[in-house]
C-alpha cells in the first residue's frame, strides 16, 4: 500500500443532472426506493437506509442530463490540505469550494487528468439512520452508494493514477488480449473494504457509464423490477436482473427518465486482507459480463452519460484505441 | 369422495370483532399488509392481492373481540337450496340472510353441531385483481385467506361431520396415543387443492384458535416481522417465524390489538390427486408443531378467540377429554 | 363447466427424447435439481420433491431429441372407459397401452386432432414424498410439473377442443388484433386449480415449445442459474430469469444438452372460483411476454421441439396463418 | 483512532475442541455448510466460500469441548514484532509459535489480561476462492467468520483494553442502568469495516458465548434450519431464526453435538466513516436482544463454552458484579 499523507475513505456521492425534478423524484423515490433527505427548488438530496450522512445522490435541475461530479470522503478535514499540496506537486489544479454543496463543509475540487470532476471533503451533516426503520423501507431498499463507473480511452493511465495518488487498490480487472499480450481494458478499484468504489472501463470518454447503489438483497432487486414495471417504467429497465462475473454482482441497470444510468447492486464480497490477488478476466469470456451467459444489449455499450467540468461545460471526448466492447454483444 | 348435491369451493372469509376499528386498520393494513376494499362506520372489508372477491376478512366494531362467523363459498347459487335441504334432513336448522353481509348475495346460515357460526353463499361483488399491481403490495403481501382453525372438545365428531356433509378431505392429522391406540387430536381438512381450508384441534370450545392468510413468501414474512417491530408491534408477534411439521407451513402468529389471533402462512403444497394418503403426526412428536424443534409458548395453547352465535351471544364452552396440548410446551 | 363423464385431474408427465442419457442425467439431476426415481438402460424417471407419483418427466434414449408424449391423470380408472367411448363418438381413434410405460397401469392413448400424442391413465406407483426431506433438496428444488406448451397453427380449434372434450378452463389468452378484431393467438388452460396445465400457442406445428416445472421459489431459480453457470451450462440458459405478464410467471427457460426446452416456473396463482374472467393480453403488449419489458431472444420463437406419433415418427407440420411472434423480438 | 505501530486486520479464526471429529464433520459440513480445506488425524480445517485463507474454524479432537484460542490477522509480518514489543511494555507475556498451527506462519501468542488465549499472525496458506463455485455451495452457504463473543466479569476493562491496545472501535454497546447511571454491560467492537470482530458481554468468565459466521442470506439461514431439522438436528437449534436489535443481525444459534455454540449471521452493515456514533442499547429494552420481541431461552444465558489457556488447562472463572442477563428471559 502507498504511504499517503491522507486517507480517502470511499466514494461518497454523485451529482446527476435531470431536466425535470418532479419526474425524477417519482422515479428515484417512489419507484426505485431512495430516501429523500431534503429538497430545494433545484436539488433533491437522496440517501440510502444505511447512510448516516446527508446524501449519496444529488439530483440537480439542469437543461441537459449527465453527471456533474463525484464526491469522495476523506477521514479528517486536515487530509484535504495534504491532498491539495500533493495535487499541486503533480500539477493538478484544485480549487476550494465552501458552501457550494449543501450540507457539506469545505471541499477540495479538481478535474482529474482524464477530465472527471472530483471533489474531496470530510465535513457533512449527519442524518438519522434508517436501517431499523423497516416501516420506511420500500422499492429496492437502497442501502448506500457503492461505486461510480468511468469511461475513458486512457484506461491504463487512469487506473494507475487513482492507485498511485489516492491509494485505490485493484480487486479485479479485464484485459483485451492482443497478440498474446494482456492490455488493461477495465479496472475495479476500491478504498472501502468491498470490491469497488471506482470502476474504470475503456471507452469514449471522459464519460460516465453509471453510478451503482446497493440494494438490500437479490429479492428486493426482483421486487423493484416488478414495482417499476407496475408503475410504467418497463422501458427504463435496460439490463438484468442478472449476475456479472466481475465482482459477482447481482445487478439491475436502470435508465432514469432523462436517460441517466444507474445500477442496483448486491452480492459482492468483503475484501479486508492486503494479500488479495486481483482477479483477471478476459474481455471475450462470456461469463465476465454476464455470468449466466446472456450478452448485454447494444445500448448498454453504445450509450453513456455526459461528464461536465466544474463550470458546467460538457467535456470533449476522444475515442479509445482498444475495442470498446466484446465481440459478442446482443 | 362423497356424492353431494352441492359443491363447497373453499373457505372464503371470516368476520373478526374488534373494539377499535381505527386501531385495527393501522395494524391490519399499515402493519400486516391487507388491502382495504371498503370501509363503513362499523366495518372494514379487507382482501388480499390475489383476491377477486370483495373481502376475505371483515373487521366489525363490537364491544368485545372474537369471531362472529366463517363464510364458505359454493360453486353456484342453486347449491344453497340443495344444501338447505340436506341440512334440514340431518336436523340442522338454517336461516337465510339477504343483504345481511355487505357485497354478498343470499347466504345460508347455520350453527354447526359444535357451535360454530357458518355461512354459505355464491354471489359476491367482484373487485380488481392486484396481483400485478406490485406498486400496491406491502407488508406481508397478503395474498388470500387459507383456512380457519376451530377448537372443539368434539374433535372426532367434528372432523367426520365436515367430511360427510360437505365433502372436506383429510390431508393430515394428529393423534394422541393412548394405550397404543390413536385418538384423533387434530385434523387438517381441505376443499380447494391445497393442504387445508379448515383445521380442527382438540381443546376447550367452541372457540377459534386462528384464521390463516397466505403471505407471498417466507421473505415477506420475515420482512413483516421487521416492519411490525419497527411500528411498535413486537408484543403482537406471538410465535415464529417458524416452520410447522404439519402441512410444512412457514408461519408467523400475530395477535391483533384486541388479542384476536391470525396466522401468516406460506409453503404448503398442492393436493390434486384423489389417492392422497393423509399424513399422520403424533401429538408428542416435537417436529409436529415446530419442525425446527422449539416448543410453542404457553399462551399459544392457553388463549383462544370467543365464538359467537348468529345473535351475537358468546357460545358456552366445554372441556375436552383428551389433553389440550403436548406435554412439552415452553 | 362441461358435464363430462370423466375427470381429467391434471397434466401429469411428459416424455422427452435425449441422445445421451448420461449427459442428460448430469444436466437434469445434478444441474437443475430433479429427483431420480428410477433408471433403466433406456429411461430415466424423474420427479419433484412434492410428487407422490413415480415420475413427472421421462427421459428416453433415442436417436433424435423431441417430445414423445404427454400424460394426463384422471380421477379413477373407470374414467378411461368413459373417455374411450367419448373419443370414439367424436371420431378420435384410441388404443390401450398396458405395461407400455413403466410404473403406470393401463393407459388410453390417442393422437389429438392437432397431432399431439396424449395419454390418459389413473394407476401409477406411489413413491416417497420428499417435501420435508430438505437435506435432499438441491438446484431449483423442482417441486412438480406445471404444464406443457403446444405449438399449432390451429390454435382456435385446439383450445376449444380441450375445453369441450376434457373440461379445460381458460385462465388467460393472447389475441392478435386484426382490423380491430381479436384473433386467438395463445391460450392458457387449466384443470387443476392453478393458472395452467396446458398452454397452446400459435406457430408451426404440431410442435412443443416447452414443458414447465415448478421451482420452490424465485430465489431458487436465481440460485440454479448460478449453479448451472458454475457447472458450465451458461449457454443452456436461453431466457430469463424474468417475469411473464401472462400468468405472472417468474421464469427461467433452459435448453437441455440435446436442445429440448424446459421452463422453471414459480409465482402464478390459485384459481378456485368458477366465475373467473379470463385475462386478455394483446400480442403486441410488451409486458405480455416480459413484464419487465425486455424482448425475448429470437431463438425462443424460432426453435421448438419435434412432436412424434405413437409409432415414433416425427409429425409433419404446417405453418400458421397468424404471425408466429410479436413484431418486436430481440 | 489510536496511533499504533501495527494493524490488526480482523478476527480470522477460532479453534473449537470436539470429542468426536467424525460426528463434528457431519454436523458442520454436511449440516451447516462449512467447506473442508483439510483434515488430519486430530484436526478438521474449515473455511467459508468467501475465504481465501486456509481456515476460519479449526475443530480439534479433545477430551472435553470448549474454545482453545482465537486468531487475529495483522497486515504484515513485521507487525508481530511491534506488537510483541508493545505487549511487553504493558506487562503482557507473549510467546512465539512456529509450525504450531498448520498452514500458518509464525504466530505471537498471549493470554489477554482477562484470560482469553489470543494469537496474532500474518502468514497463512492461500486456498481457492469458492464464491462463484455455486455448485459447491450448500447448507447456510457459510461465507466467512464474523466475530467471537467473550464473556467476562471485567467488561469495562476488557472493552477498553482492546480499544486502547489494538485499535478496536466501538460500533454498539449495551448498558445496565443503575441509579440513573449507565454501566457498560456489552460492547460490539470492530477492526474490519463491519459491525464487529469481537463482542464482549458481561458474565461469568473468561468463557466464550459463541463464534459467529456469515451465511449468504436470510433465506439460506431459513434453509439450513430446515436442513438441520431433516437431518435430525432439531435439538441443536437453540435460538432463532430471529433478528437482534443490536447490529441488526439476522441470526440462528446452534449447538454442535458437543454443545459448542455458534451463530449463523447476516444483515449487519458496513461501517466505514470514522465519525460513527456508537449505538446505545438498554439491557432491559426487549428489542435489544430480539428485535421481534420474543425473549431468549434461559440456556442461551446459562450455558457457555470453557476457555482454555495455551497449555490446555481450563481457565478459572469469576462471577460478574452486574446482572448477567435482562430481567425478562424466557
- Using one digit for the tens of pLDDT, what is the confidence trace for B253-286? 999 999 999 999 999 999 999 999 999 999 999 8
- Characterize the bridge pairing of strands D181-190 and D117-121: unpaired
Q: Residue C330: what pLDDT? A: 59
Percent of residues, chain B, with pLDDT higher than 90: 91
In this structure, what C-alpha cell is assigned to residue D157? 476493562
Q: How far apart are CA D78 and CA D56, in angstroms?
A: 22
**pLDDT confidence of D67, banded at 50, 70, 90?**
very high
* pTM metric for this prediction: 0.97
Contact of A120 with A8, CB cutoff 8 Å: yes
Same domain, B98 and B180: no
Q: Residue A324: what pLDDT? A: 81
Q: Residue C329: what pLDDT? A: 61
- Cα dist from D247 to A84, A293, B156, D194, whole Å: 37, 37, 49, 9
In a domain, A325, yes or no: no
Same domain, C73 and C197: no
Q: Nearest-CA distance from A129 to chain B in Å?
A: 13
Suggest the residue from D270, D281, D290 to mutate for an interface test with chain A (most A CBs closer than 10 A). D270
pLDDT of B219 above 60: yes
**pLDDT confidence of D329, banded at 50, 70, 90?**
low
- Whether residues A76 and D272 touch (CB distance < 8 A) is answered with no
SS3 at position B45? strand
**Which residues does chain B have within 8 Å of residue C144's beta carbon, measured at their own beta carbons?**
270
**Which residues does chain C have within 8 Å of residue D135's beta carbon, measured at their own beta carbons?**
227, 230-231
Interface of C with A (CB under 8 A): 218-219, 222, 225-226, 228-229, 234-235, 237, 241, 243, 250, 286-287, 291-294, 297, 330
Same domain, A293 and A198: yes
Suggest the residue from B130, B243, B268, B273 to mutate for an interface test with chain C (most C CBs closer than 10 A). B273
SS3 at position D164? helix
- Whether residues B52 and C273 touch (CB distance < 8 A) is answered with yes
Which residues lie closer than 8 Å to C282 by C-beta, 6 or more apart?
C174, C175, C177, C288
Question: Shortest CB distance from C235 goes to which of A219, A225, A293?
Answer: A293
Contact of D200 with D155, CB cutoff 8 Å: yes
Count CB atoms within 10 A of the CB of residue B130: 20
Domain boundary among A70, A97, A125: A125
Contact of A41 with A32, CB cutoff 8 Å: no
CATH number of B89's domain: 3.10.180.10
Q: Residue D99: what pLDDT? A: 78
In a domain, B69, yes or no: yes
Suggest the residue from A31, A135, A139 to mutate for an interface test with chain B (most B CBs closer than 10 A). A135
Domain boundary among B99, B126, B153: B126
In a domain, D15, yes or no: yes
Chains contacting B with at least 3 CB pairs below 8 Å? Answer: A, C, D
Count CB atoms within 10 A of the CB of residue B280: 11
Same domain, C284 and C185: yes
Q: Residue D1: what pLDDT? A: 43
Q: Residue A329: what pLDDT? A: 60
Buried/exposed A93-132: b ≥16 CB within 10 Å, e otherwise:
ebeebeeebebbebbbbbbbebbbbbbbbbebeebeebbb
Q: How far apart are CA B167 and CA D224, in angstroms?
A: 38
CA atoms within 13 A on the CB side of C7: 9
Nearest-Å Rg of the Cα atoms of chain C is 19
Interface of C with B (CB under 8 A): 9-10, 50, 52-53, 73, 75-76, 126, 131-132, 143-144, 192-194, 217-219, 245, 248, 269-270, 272-277, 291
- Whether residues C194 and B270 touch (CB distance < 8 A) is answered with yes
Q: Residue C325: what pLDDT? A: 81
- Mean local confidence (pLDDT), B82-91: 97
The domain total for chain A is: 2
**Which residues does chain C have within 8 Å of residue B10's beta carbon, measured at their own beta carbons?**
272-273
Looking at residue D220, the DSSP 8-state letter turns out to be H
Buried/exposed B227-237: b ≥16 CB within 10 Å, e otherwise:
bbbbbebbebb
Counting Cβ atoms within 10 Å, is residue D11 exposed (0-12), middle (13-18) or buried (19+)? buried
Residue with grid cell 460513527, as numbered in its chain: D276
What does the H/E/C string look like for B53-120?
ECCCEEEEECCCCEEEEEEEEECCCCHHHHHHHHHHHCCCCEEEECCCCCCECCEEEEECCCCCEEEE
What does the H/E/C string look like for chain A?
CCCCCCCEEEEEEEEEEECCHHHHHHHHHHHHCCEEEEECCCEEEEECCCCCECCCEEEEECCCCEEEEEEEEECCCCHHHHHHHHHHHCCCCEEEECCCCCCECCEEEEECCCCCEEEEECCECECCCCCCCHHHCCCCCCCEEEEEEEEECCHHHHHHHHHHHHCCEEEEEEEEEECCEEEEEEEEEECCCECCCEEEEECCECEEEEEEEECCCHHHHHHHHHHHHHCCCHHHEEEEEEECCHHHCEEEEEECCCCCEEEEEECCCECCCCCCCCEEEECCCHHHHCCCCCCCCHHHHHCCEEEECCCCCECCCECCCCCCCCCCCC
In a domain, C136, yes or no: no
Which residues lie closer than 8 Å to B178 by C-beta, 6 or more apart?
none
Count CB atoms within 10 A of the CB of residue B78: 12
Q: How far apart are CA C57 and CA C40, in angstroms?
A: 14
How many Cβ pairs closer than 8 A exist between chain B and D?
A: 53
Question: Shortest CB distance from C144 goes to which of B76, B270, B275?
Answer: B270
pLDDT of D315 above 50: yes
What beta strand segments (E) does C114-236 contain? 117-121, 144-152, 169-178, 181-190, 198-202, 207-214
Question: Shortest CB distance from D73 goes to which of A73, A269, A273?
Answer: A273
Suggest the residue from A132, A134, A140 to mutate for an interface test with chain B (most B CBs closer than 10 A). A134
Suggest the residue from B51, B76, B147, B270 to mutate for an interface test with chain C (most C CBs closer than 10 A). B270
Same domain, A66 and A143: no
Contact of C170 with C284, CB cutoff 8 Å: no
- For residue C31, give the chain D residue with the closest CA: D135
**Which residues does chain A have within 8 Å of residue B136's beta carbon, measured at their own beta carbons?**
230
Q: Residue D294: what pLDDT? A: 78
How many Cβ pairs closer than 8 A exist between chain B and C?
A: 61
- Distance in Å from the first CA to the final CA of chain D: 40
pLDDT of B27 above 70: yes
Same domain, A273 and A237: yes
The closest of B43, B19, B47 to B33, measured between CA atoms, is B47
In a domain, B313, yes or no: no
Residue with grid cell 459478442, as numbered in its chain: A328
- The torsion angles phi and psi of A11, rounded to 5 degrees, stand at -70, 130
SS3 at position B254? strand
- For residue A53, give the chain D residue with the closest CA: D273
Check whether the bond before C108 is cis (ω within 30° of 0): no
Same domain, C19 and C83: yes
Which residues lie closer than 8 Å to A255 by C-beta, 6 or more apart?
A236, A238, A261
The closest of B177, B173, B153, B155 to B327, measured between CA atoms, is B177
**pLDDT confidence of D190, banded at 50, 70, 90?**
very high
Q: Residue A328: what pLDDT? A: 63
Q: Nearest-CA distance from D230 to chain C in Å?
A: 6
SS3 at position D87? helix
Same domain, D294 and D160: yes
**Which residues does chain D have within 8 Å of residue B291's beta carbon, measured at their own beta carbons?**
226, 229, 234
Determine the Cα angle at D245 with ends D244 and D247, to 5°: 80
Contact of B113 with B157, CB cutoff 8 Å: yes
Buried/exposed B107-121: b ≥16 CB within 10 Å, e otherwise:
bbbbbbebbbbbbbb
pLDDT of D328 above 70: no
Residue with grid cell 390431508, as numbered in its chain: B171
Query: How high is the ipTM of this complex?
Result: 0.95
Q: How far apart are CA B188 and CA B9, in angstroms?
A: 16
Which residues lie closer than 8 Å to D275 by C-beta, 6 or more apart?
A126
pLDDT of B159 above 70: yes
Interface of B with A (CB under 8 A): 132-137, 217, 219, 223, 226-227, 229-231
**pLDDT confidence of C1, banded at 50, 70, 90?**
very low
Determine the Cα angle at A61 with ends A55 and A63, to 5°: 145
Same domain, A12 and A158: no
Q: Nearest-CA distance from C231 to chain D in Å?
A: 7
In a domain, D322, yes or no: no
- The torsion angles phi and psi of C85, rounded to 5 degrees, stand at -60, -45
Q: Residue C328: what pLDDT? A: 64
Same domain, A21 and A51: yes
Looking at residue D90, the DSSP 8-state letter turns out to be T
Q: Nearest-CA distance from B222 to chain A in Å?
A: 11
- Whether residues A50 and D270 touch (CB distance < 8 A) is answered with yes
**What is the distance of C-alpha B115 from the center of its chain?**
15
- Whether residues C293 and A237 touch (CB distance < 8 A) is answered with yes
Q: How far apart are CA D238 and CA D221, in angstroms?
A: 14
Suggest the residue from B216, B222, B242 to mutate for an interface test with chain D (most D CBs closer than 10 A). B222
Q: What is the mean pLDDT of each run of 10 residues along chain A (330 residues)?
A: 84 98 98 98 98 98 98 98 97 92 96 98 97 97 98 96 97 94 96 98 97 98 98 96 96 98 97 96 91 87 97 96 76
CA atoms within 13 A on the CB side of B133: 12
For residue range C194-249, list pLDDT tens digits in order: 999 999 999 999 999 999 999 999 999 999 999 999 999 999 999 999 999 999 99
- For residue C243, give the chain B residue with the closest CA: B132
Could you list the residue range(s) of the whole structural domain that residue A171 is in? 139-306
Q: Nearest-CA distance from C176 to chain D in Å?
A: 41
Question: Shortest CB distance from D273 goes to which of A9, A131, A274?
Answer: A9
Contact of B31 with B231, CB cutoff 8 Å: yes
In a domain, C240, yes or no: yes
Q: How far apart are CA B267 and CA B244, in angstroms?
A: 10
Q: How far apart are CA D151 and CA B30, in angstroms?
A: 41
Count CB atoms within 10 A of the CB of residue B298: 11
Q: For chain B, how many residues are written?
A: 330
Q: How far apart are CA C131 and CA C51, in angstroms?
A: 8
**pLDDT confidence of C271, banded at 50, 70, 90?**
very high
- Whether residues C134 and D219 touch (CB distance < 8 A) is answered with no
Q: How far apart are CA C142 and CA C21, in angstroms?
A: 19
Residue with grid cell 344453497, as numbered in its chain: B80
**Which residues does chain D have within 8 Å of residue C229's beta carbon, measured at their own beta carbons?**
134
- Whether residues B293 and D235 touch (CB distance < 8 A) is answered with yes
Q: How far apart are CA A61 and CA A64, in angstroms?
A: 9
Question: Shortest CB distance from B234 goes to which of D229, D237, D293?
Answer: D293
Lowest-pLDDT range of A185-189, C296-300, D198-202: C296-300
- Whether residues A134 and B219 touch (CB distance < 8 A) is answered with no
Same domain, B99 and B153: no
Question: Shortest CB distance from C272 goes to which of B126, B132, B192?
Answer: B192
In a domain, C57, yes or no: yes
Same domain, D169 and D269: yes
The closest of A201, A191, A208, A172 to A281, measured between CA atoms, is A172
Q: How far apart are CA C66 and CA C76, in angstroms?
A: 30
Amino acid at each position: 500500500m502507498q504511504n499517503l499523507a491522507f486517507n480517502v475513505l470511499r466514494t461518497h456521492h454523485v451529482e446527476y443532472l435531470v431536466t425535470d425534478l418532479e419526474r425524477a423524484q417519482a422515479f428515484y423515490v417512489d419507484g426505485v426506493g431512495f430516501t429523500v433527505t431534503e429538497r430545494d427548488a433545484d436539488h433533491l438530496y437522496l440517501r440510502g437506509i444505511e447512510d448516516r450522512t446527508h446524501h449519496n445522490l444529488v439530483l440537480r435541475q439542469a437543461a441537459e442530463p449527465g453527471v456533474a461530479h463525484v464526491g469522495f470522503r476523506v477521514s479528517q478535514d486536515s487530509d484535504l490540505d495534504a491532498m491539495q499540496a500533493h495535487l499541486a506537486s503533480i500539477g493538478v489544479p484544485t480549487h476550494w469550494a465552501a458552501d457550494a454543496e449543501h450540507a457539506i463543509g469545505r471541499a477540495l475540487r479538481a478535474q482529474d487528468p482524464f477530465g472527471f470532476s472530483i471533489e474531496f471533503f470530510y465535513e457533512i451533516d449527519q442524518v438519522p439512520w434508517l436501517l431499523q426503520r423497516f416501516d420506511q423501507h420500500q422499492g429496492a431498499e437502497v442501502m448506500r452508494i457503492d461505486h461510480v463507473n468511468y469511461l475513458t480511452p486512457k484506461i491504463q493511465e487512469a487506473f494507475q493514477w487513482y492507485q498511485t495518488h489516492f491509494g485505490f487498490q485493484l480487486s479485479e480487472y479485464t484485459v483485451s488480449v492482443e497478440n498474446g499480450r494482456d492490455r488493461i481494458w477495465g479496472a475495479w478499484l476500491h478504498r472501502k473494504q468491498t470490491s469497488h468504489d471506482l470502476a474504470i472501463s475503456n471507452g469514449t470518454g471522459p464519460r460516465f457509464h453509471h453510478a451503482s447503489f446497493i440494494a438490500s438483497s437479490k429479492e428486493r432487486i426482483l421486487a423493484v423490477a416488478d414495482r417499476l414495471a407496475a408503475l410504467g417504467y418497463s422501458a427504463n429497465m435496460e439490463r438484468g436482473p442478472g449476475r456479472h462475473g466481475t465482482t459477482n454482482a447481482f445487478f439491475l441497470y436502470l435508465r432514469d427518465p432523462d436517460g441517466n444510468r444507474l445500477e442496483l447492486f448486491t452480492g459482492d464480497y468483503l475484501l479486508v486482507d492486503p494479500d488479495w490477488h486481483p482477479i483477471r478476466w478476459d474481455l471475450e469470456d462470456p461469463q465476465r459480463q454476464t455470468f449466466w451467459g446472456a450478452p448485454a444489449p447494444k445500448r448498454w455499450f453504445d450509450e453513456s452519460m455526459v461528464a461536465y467540468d466544474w463550470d458546467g461545460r460538457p467535456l470533449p471526448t476522444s475515442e479509445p484505441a482498444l475495442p470498446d466492447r466484446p465481440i459478442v454483444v446482443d
